[in-house]
Chains A and B, each alone.
Chain A
Amino acid sequence: MQVRKVMTRAMTRAMALVVAIGAVGIAHAPASAQWSRTYEQFYLPGKFNWTFRNTYATADRLFNAFDYGHAILYERLYTEPNADSSLLEVKEYDFITRKLLVSPPRLPLDEAAIEVAYAKMAPEAMMMFDWAHLLHRQVYDVLASEDMSQAEKDAKIAELVRYYKTRPDLAFSSRPKNMDLMEQQPYSLAFRQGYPKFNGLIWGYHWLQVGLYEPLMTAMDLNGRQAGVLAAVARFRQMLEHAPEHMPRIMPMTPAIAPTFAKRYPEAAIIFDNLHSMHDVVSDILANRKVPKSQKRVEIIRAAERYRDDTSYVMTEKEWMDMAQMMGAQNMGGPAVGILPGWPTPTVARGSTMAEAMKNMQHGGQGTMTNMPRMQHGADSSAKADTAAMEAMPGMSHGADSAAHDMSQASGRLPSPPAAKAVRKSSPKAPVKNAKVTKKPITAKKPTAPSKPKAAPKAPPMDHSKMPGMHNMPGMKP
Chain B
Amino acid sequence: MRSFLNRSGFTALLGLGLAAPARAQTDYYNTDRGRPVQIEDAYVTERYAFELKLAPVWLERQRGGIYNWGLDPEIAYGISPRTQIEVGLPLVYTDAGVARRSGIAGLELSVMHTLNRETETWPALGIRADLLAPVGGLAPDRAYPTVTGIATRTYRWARFNVNGQYTFGSALPAAPVGGVVTGAGAAEVSRWLLGGAVDKTFPLQAMLVTAEFFGREPIHEGEPVEYSTSGGVRYQLTPTLVLDGGLGRRLNGTAEGWYVTFGSAYAFSLASLFPTGR
Contact = CB atoms under 8 A, between A and B. Distances in A.
Interface of A: 4, 7-8, 11-12, 14-15, 18-19, 21-22, 25-26, 28-30, 32-46, 50, 53, 68, 75, 79, 100, 105-110, 112-114, 116-117, 119-121, 123, 159, 162-163, 166
A473 B26 CA distance: 49
In the A-B complex, the 5 residue pairs with the closest CB atoms: A22-B162, A18-B196, A110-B26, A42-B49, A25-B153
Contact of B274 (A12, A14, A45, A108): A45
B268 A35 contact: no
B194 interface: yes
Nearest to B118: A120
A29 B82 contact: no
Given A39-B82, A105-B204, A112-B29, A18 B194 contact: yes
Contacts of A105: 203-206
Interface stretch (B120-128, B131-139, B172-180): B120-128
A33 B121 contact: yes
B162 A21 contact: yes
B64 interface: no
Interface residues of B, number: 60
Contact of B239 (A8, A21, A33, A108): A108
Contacts of A68: 203-204
Given A53-B239, A107-B206, A28 B121 contact: yes
B82 A37 contact: yes
B155 A35 contact: no
Contacts of B224: 8
A110 B123 CA distance: 18
B78 interface: yes
B213 A14 contact: yes
A162 B123 CA distance: 33
A367 to B, nearest CB: 47
22 contacts: A8-B225, A14-B213, A19-B164, A22-B160, A22-B162, A26-B123, A30-B121, A33-B121, A34-B122, A39-B47, A41-B47, A44-B271, A44-B274, A45-B268, A105-B206, A106-B206, A108-B25, A108-B239, A109-B203, A109-B204, A110-B201, A163-B276
Nearest to A75: B156
Interface string B22-65: 01111011000000000000000011110000000000000000
Given A19-B164, A39-B117, 10 more contacts: A15-B194, A21-B196, A26-B125, A42-B24, A45-B268, A45-B269, A113-B201, A113-B203, A116-B154, A120-B120
Q: Which has the most chain A C-beta neighbours within 10 Å: B153, B236, B252, B267?
A: B153
B97 interface: no
A29 B121 contact: yes
Interface in B83-133: 114-123, 125
Contact of A36 (B23, B78, B116, B164): B116
A123 B206 CA distance: 21
Contacts of B252: 4, 7-8, 11
A247 B28 CA distance: 35
Interface in B239-278: 239, 251-252, 267-271, 274-277
B215 A107 contact: no
Contacts of B166: none
B269 A42 contact: yes
A375 B206 CA distance: 49
B19 interface: no
Contact of B120 (A12, A34, A41, A53): A34
B122 A108 contact: no
A42 B46 contact: yes
Contacts of B183: none
Given A45-B270, A166-B275, A26 B49 contact: no
B29 A39 contact: no
Interface in B189-220: 194-196, 201, 203-206, 213-215
A12 B154 contact: no
Contacts of B227: 8, 11, 14-15
Contacts of B162: 18-19, 21-22, 25
A44 B114 CA distance: 22
Contacts of B66: none
Contacts of A110: 23, 25-26, 28-29, 201, 203
A167 to B, nearest CB: 9
Contacts of A11: 215, 225, 227, 251-252
Nearest to A106: B206
Contacts of A32: 121
B196 A22 contact: yes
A166 B118 CA distance: 23
B151 interface: yes
Contacts of A162: 276-277
Q: Which has the most chain B C-beta neighbours within 10 Å: A33, A75, A116?
A: A116
A55 B119 CA distance: 38
A120 B239 contact: no
Contacts of B154: 112, 116, 119-120
A166 B122 CA distance: 27
